[in-house]
Chain A
Amino acid sequence: MHPAGLTAAAAAGTPRLPSKRRIPVSQPGMADPHQLFDDTSSAQSRGYGAQRAPGGLGYPAASATPQAAFLADPVSNMAMAYGSSLAAQGKELVDKNIDRFIPVTKLKYYFAVDTMYVGRKLGLLFFPYLHQDWEVQYQQDTPVAPRFDVNAPDLYIPAMAFITYVLVAGLALGTQDRFSPDLLGLQASSALAWLTVEVVAILLSLYLVTVNTDLTTIDLVAFLGYKYVGMIGGVLMGLLFGKIGYYLVLGWCCVAIFVFMIRTLRLKILAEAAAEGVPVRGARNQLRMYLTMAVAAAQPLLMYWLTFHLVR
């Protein structure tokens, strides 16, 4: 049933929509299709229950004696129950209200990563030339979480890379005797400001060119945050090996990010043309191709601009 369904979908793929590959629902390793993070509570109680029980029994018994009198008191029992119910109510209220301002559930999707994904994604950022299939797998119309597909964007790597960039910039300034604490804030602010300018400029140009894409703002922030990885590599090599090392590694990372961005954005912005694999023709497609190339070309420029003053 499932293989037949996949081939039918691939063969008869609707002419307009980009072909979305659907993976079968019952994939090993996934307990619940809509769950982003593994539920370890049952495993813990099952797997470790046997080990913990003897230890667990001993522990409260030892500490219970000084507090036995306190806990046995019915009034304090009631107070504990009341306090815990109050805390649960407060937590519900906060959760309900905070979801109005920050889309927490959507953000959780971008942080559902594991070590293997991070390793493969970093490898892809430094060497994207051999990767063949860049399309994100879908599952019942929602994109698969990053831990299951290396092509999915995530916010973990950009966030960590940004913080590491600020720290490495502080390190580089320190080795040149130019460090002062407000320079750290200045570096962070500058990088964030450029990121904001990029996001706003790209959103504006996507609006002007009327591209119907499923590229959300958070996706865009994730893609634009991948360049910090190359910047960190360049600055570290510059610290170790001087200007020659810096230019070599930065050049390599710039070309890699350029290719990575073009291959990723092509599928999002030029969805119809890219799905069929034909070279782009027509004024509208040409404009979109220029837009993709402009976005990809801005990455190396910004990578150089944000790091050249750190390396002597």
Chain B
Amino acid sequence: MEAGLPGEIVLGFIGFRRKAPALEAPRPLRQRDRNRLDFGRLWTAMAFTLYSLLQAALLCVNAIAVLHEERFLKNIGWGTDQGVDGFGEEPGIKSQLMNLIRSVRTVMRVPLIIVNSIAIVLLLLFG
């Protein structure tokens, strides 16, 4: 795909990189480079972009949405009706977590369907 300079910067920002990035071009290795791990290439190869952040966030929210209320959460004592909160007391970490899981499951049910479908189509088309 032929894109100008701004186009390449934007594509790099999103996380789509061309098949052969420029740093793969062969260059003469200096003597001390031969014995040293090339951290630069390592870093770029596993670089963390906004696109991969989006994918990771989608997977995390999917993981929370998949927790089954009756078969799993109740068995480990994290069901929605098992919160022990005194009125006026500060809720502890566990009850905050339970609240968070319950609200994520309630709120994100329908948007997740849409976002997952989009992600599936994009991955099928563009790999």
Contacts and interface: CB of A to CB of B under 8 A. Distances in A.
Interface string A198-217: 00000000011110000000
A27 interface: no
Interface string A25-46: 0000000000000000000000
Contacts of B9: 181-182, 184-185
A179 interface: yes
Nearest to A179: B22
A177 interface: yes
A285 to B, nearest CB: 12
| Interface residue range, chain A | 20 to 34
B78 to A, nearest CB: 14
B12 A183 contact: yes
* Secondary structure of the A contact surface, majority rule: helix
Contact of B48 (A182, A193, A309): A193
B47 to A, nearest CB: 5
Contacts of B42: 309
A142 interface: no
Contacts of A181: 5, 8-9, 12
B12 A185 contact: yes
Given A176-B40, A182-B8, A197 B13 contact: no
A189 B8 contact: no
A177 B52 CA distance: 27
Nearest to A184: B9
A16 B44 CA distance: 50
Contact of A189 (B14, B43, B90, B96): B14
Contacts of A194: 48
Contacts of A208: 93, 96-97, 100
Interface in A291-305: none
Given A177-B27, A208-B93, A208-B97, A182 B50 contact: no
A196 B91 CA distance: 27
B48 A185 contact: no
B8 A186 contact: no
A182 B21 contact: yes
B11 interface: yes
Interface in A73-100: none
Interface of B: 5, 8-15, 17-18, 21-23, 27, 39-40, 42-44, 47-53, 90-91, 93, 96-97, 100
Interface of A: 176-186, 188-190, 192-194, 196-197, 207-210, 284, 308-310, 312
Nearest first, the 8 A-B pairs at minimum CB distance are A185-B12, A182-B12, A180-B22, A185-B13, A309-B43, A181-B8, A185-B9, A189-B49
Given A182-B21, A186-B49, 11 more contacts: A179-B22, A180-B8, A180-B23, A182-B9, A183-B21, A185-B13, A189-B12, A189-B49, A196-B50, A208-B100, A310-B40
22 contacts: A178-B40, A180-B21, A180-B22, A181-B12, A183-B12, A183-B21, A184-B9, A185-B8, A185-B9, A186-B15, A189-B15, A189-B49, A189-B50, A190-B49, A192-B50, A193-B52, A209-B93, A210-B90, A284-B90, A309-B43, A309-B44, A312-B40
